[in-house]
Structure 1
Amino acid sequence: MMRCPNCRTKDIGKLGVNSYYCWGCYIELTLENGVLHLHQVELDGSLSSLDDLFDEQERREGEAYGH
């Protein structure tokens, strides 16, 4: 089961192919080449990247699944 790298919750919903939403901290996660990309949804609906807050190891697919 996927875990959010930001709040560590497992309360993740699927938005589409390789696209997820964390109900714990309200961020969007996109899985690309085994690495999660995190985005904050702004009031106008645009996305702001949160990738710079986490190193790539924290965003790797195995880490997201608790491996």
Structure 2
Amino acid sequence: MHCPNCKNKNLGKIGVNQFYCWDCFIELTLTNGRLSLNQVEEDGSLTTLDDLFEDQELNLG
């Protein structure tokens, strides 16, 4: 699997179906064959980045 944002494979697993891209610093969650991307803010909250990508980029199935 590669990051849909930076296209690199430098992903670390942080939980069940949750990954973190060490190159562009976003969190990826895999649910039912679809990725959801979030930016981790300074206070620890998450901001969705899904609206920046086409559906075909987020679907893995």
TM-score computed with the length of structure 2 as normaliser: 0.96
1:61 aligned partner, one-letter code: L
The DSSP-based 3-state class of the residue aligned with 2:57 is: helix
1:47 aligned partner, one-letter code: L
The whole-number CA distance in structure 2 between the counterparts of 1:53 and 1:44 is: 22
Structure 1 ranges of 4+ moved more than 3 A: none
Offset at 1:57? 0.6
* Structure with higher RCO (Cα < 8 A, 6+ apart): 1
For structure 1, which runs of at least 5 residues remain unmatched after alignment? 63-67
Report the counterpart of residue 24 of structure 1 in structure 2.
23
The whole-number CA distance in structure 2 between the counterparts of 1:31 and 1:52 is: 16
Aligned residues: 61
Report the counterpart of residue 59 of structure 1 in structure 2.
58
TM-score computed with the length of structure 1 as normaliser: 0.88
The whole-number CA distance in structure 2 between the counterparts of 1:15 and 1:38 is: 14
Offset at 1:60? 1.2
The CA RMSD measured in Å over matched residues stands at 0.8
Query: Quick check: which one's helix share is greater?
Result: 1
For structure 2, which runs of at least 5 residues remain unmatched after alignment? none
